């Protein structure tokens, strides 16, 4: 049913909690797991930038996630992309032919359009496949 599962990750608590659901789905359906982390452009009003704007931090996050899934017996492909998170997640889902995107109800950021429009909400509206939101 879910041949390819895309799991976008950041450093949020919600992403860590969603990982348990991803493990269950991938093991149950024998899915291919693709981890994605998006390197964001640093915000102009953020003098030090945030963690997700550092390619080194994102690369380390992906390696840590791959190791955690490997500990559960799951092999994962890791992708690092640059851009606006919601659009990038949906583009990658389309490119890899994802059957499901699993993500936390809230990540680290909000979209540029305002504080009420989260990346998760934007992904739900733009996704080429079903999105499972883990509360």
Q: What is the pLDDT of residues 117-126, one digit of tens each?
A: 789 999 999 9
Mean pLDDT of the chain: 88
Identify the bridge partners of residue 6 per DSSP, sorted by sequence position: 34, 101
Residue 99 has pLDDT above 60, yes or no: yes
The closest of 68, 75, 83, 73 to 34, measured between CA atoms, is: 75
The closest of 55, 61, 112, 122 to 82, measured between CA atoms, is: 55
| Percent of the chain residues topping a pLDDT of 70 | 84
Residue 30 has pLDDT above 60, yes or no: yes
Query: Model-level pTM?
Result: 0.88
Q: How many Cβ atoms from other residues are within 10 Å of residue 63's Cβ?
A: 12
Q: What is the pLDDT of residue 112?
A: 47
Q: How many Cβ atoms from other residues are within 10 Å of residue 85's Cβ?
A: 26
Q: What is the pLDDT of residue 32?
A: 98
């Amino acid at each position: 049913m879910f041949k390819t599962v895309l799991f976008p990750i950041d450093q949020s608590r919600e992403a860590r909690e969603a990982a348990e659901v991803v493990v269950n789905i991938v093991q149950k359906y024998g899915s291919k797991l693709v981890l994605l982390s998006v390197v964001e452009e640093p915000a102009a009003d953020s003098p030090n930038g945030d963690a997700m704007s550092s390619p080194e931090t994102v690369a380390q996050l992906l390696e840590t996630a791959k190791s955690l899934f490997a500990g559960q017996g799951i092999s994962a492909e890791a992708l690092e992309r640059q851009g606006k998170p919601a659009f990038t997640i949906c583009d990658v889902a389309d490119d890899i032919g994802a059957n499901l995107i699993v993500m936390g109800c809230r990540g680290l950021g909000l979209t540029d359009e305002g504080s009420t429009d989260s990346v998760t909400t934007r992904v739900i509206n733009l996704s080429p496949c079903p999105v499972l939101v883990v509360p």
